[in-house]
Chain A
Amino acid sequence: MDLKEKLELFNFSEEERRRAIEKHAVSLSLVSTEEIKDILKFLTSKNVTITKAHELTIFGNGLAEIEKKFAILEEIHESDIYRQNPSMINRNVIDIYKKINYCIQIGKPYKKEDGTYEPFLFSSKAWQQEFNKDMTVDNKETLNKEIITVEPAIQNEADTINNNIVDINEYRKAHEDMEKIEAEKTSFNAIRADLERELAELDSLKNMNNDMGYVGINDIPDEQFEIGRGRAA
């Protein structure tokens, strides 16, 4: 009955609902209905939707932990990671954060052309294969520390992270500026193309006039105007 009540909170397809009952009921059994509601409310406010039964593991994190993880990735404008794949909420956010920062520093793309994130951000093995560099947080305890707050024991780490956030934001700003310049360039090119087209039309009109022996309006004989007026009248 409890499981059924909890599952009612999700918009699962029939198939995913079956999988949730058969294979992932344990993940839901570890949290109360109220906790699930609170987490879902938070996730909805962040445009994260749980559509797959295996994503139910994220509820084992608890609301405070999920909020903290979001806050860290939002600082560097990369919380899309969670929107693209909610299961990534389970991953160590400090590892992800450090990896993104490192990629930015060395100019290595960490997103594919379609906007999805490179798998090496989420796997130590993939990361080592890509960079031959270990960047795993030593133990789970690190996660429980406040990263952004200014408690003395972690002040240095917070300063480093905040500096890195500034670097990342500057990098992002530079990219956004480049995009604006590109957009303006495209707009100017369109205007130039219009002007060139109008110029070509004027040239063609001028050539037509030349063919008729006219160079300009002042060169049209007065009698032509008279004829014209006569006709109009």
Chain B
Amino acid sequence: MKFLEKYDFNKEEIAEFLNNSPKKLIDAIKKSKKLVSANIDYLKELGVTNYQQIFLEYYDMFLMDHSNFVEVFSKYEPEDLIEKLQKNIKVVEYL
């Protein structure tokens, strides 16, 4: 999971993620680093500042096909979405 450090996840966050996530999903993320990275990059470029939190809570979504991932977030006005996600990441559940 070292690739997450590139996205400003600190070691404690990565350790906590590994400690609190199902093994099958951790393995899937390890196997799909490129896809996960592309999806994190998209959120980062969109301006979502708390993308780390979103990943740590909704990691399985980052295994979505990239175009589908983009589709989920691009349905909304970026500024509005970013603001809502900053207030409460649970918004992700309702997208």
Interface residues of A (CB under 8 A from B): 19, 22-27, 30-31, 52-54, 56-62, 65, 90-92, 95, 122-124, 136-137, 139-140
Chain B interface size, as a band, is: 20 to 34
Closest to B32 in A: A26
Which of B18, B19, B20, B93 is the one whose CB lies under 8 Å from A52? B93
Which residue of the partner chain, among A26, A123, A140, contacts B64 with CB atoms under 8 Å?
A26
Known: A30-B28, A52-B93. A60 touches B22 (CB 8 A): yes
Name B's interface SS. Answer: helix
CB < 8 Å neighbour of A26 from B16, B21, B63: B63
Q: CA A65 – CA B26 in complex, angstroms?
A: 15
Main DSSP-derived SS at the A contact region: helix
Closest to B71 in A: A22
Residue of B nearest to A124 (CB): B16
* B 25-59 to A, binary, CB cutoff 8 A, 1 in contact else 0: 11010000000000000000000000000000011
Flag if A92 contacts B20 (CB, 8 Å). Answer: yes
Judge whether B22 and A57 touch: CB under 8 Å.
yes
Q: Which residue of A lies closest to B63 (CB)?
A: A26
Query: Across the interface, which residues of A come within 8 angstroms of B64, CB to CB?
Result: 22-23, 25-26
Query: How far in angstroms is the closest Cβ of chain B from A76?
Result: 19
Report yes or no: B60 in contact with A27, Cβ–Cβ below 8 A.
yes
Contacting residue for B19 out of A22, A24, A30, A92, CB 8 A? A92
Q: B61 to A31, Cβ gap below 8 A? A: no
From B20, B21, B61, name the one whose CB has the most chain A CB atoms within 10 angstroms.
B20
A57 touches B25 (CB 8 A): yes
Q: Which among B19, B21, B25, B63 is the interface contact of A139 at CB below 8 angstroms?
A: B19
